[in-house]
């Protein structure tokens, strides 16, 4: 379990085919470093997919991907 104290949302769309290293490079370019206990969220251009990059206690990075679904109706 990774403790998350803050969440940052990227305002520019990201290609969801990009690997974890590409997302980490973007975090470093914007914030200077990936801060411990922070999650960085990225969305694609149509806002149908989201990628999460999380930094834990030890120097490790976790990445997750999800397709966003609209509620029926």
Tens digit of pLDDT for each residue in 4-45? 899 999 889 999 888 888 888 988 988 888 888 899 999 999
- 62 forms bridges with which residues in the sheet? 54
**What is the per-residue pLDDT across 39-69, written as a single tens digit (0 to 9) for each?**
999 999 988 889 998 887 766 677 777 887 7
**Sign for the pseudo-dihedral over CA of 17, 20, 22, 26:** positive
Beta strands in 1-73 (DSSP E): 6-9, 38-43, 49-55, 61-67
> Are residues 49 and 66 in contact, defined by beta-carbon separation less than 8 angstroms?
yes
Question: How high is the pLDDT of residue 73?
Answer: 66
Question: What is the three-class DSSP state of 21?
Answer: helix
Structure tokens at 73: 């109706």
């Amino acid at each position: 379990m990774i403790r998350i104290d803050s969440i940052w949302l990227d305002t520019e769309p990201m290609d969801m085919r990009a690997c974890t290293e590409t997302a980490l490079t973007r975090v470093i370019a914007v914030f200077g470093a990936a801060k411990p206990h922070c999650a960085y969220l990225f969305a694609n251009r149509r806002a149908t997919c989201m990628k999460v990059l999380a930094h834990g206690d030890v120097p490790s990075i976790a990445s997750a991907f999800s397709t966003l679904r609209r509620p029926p109706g």
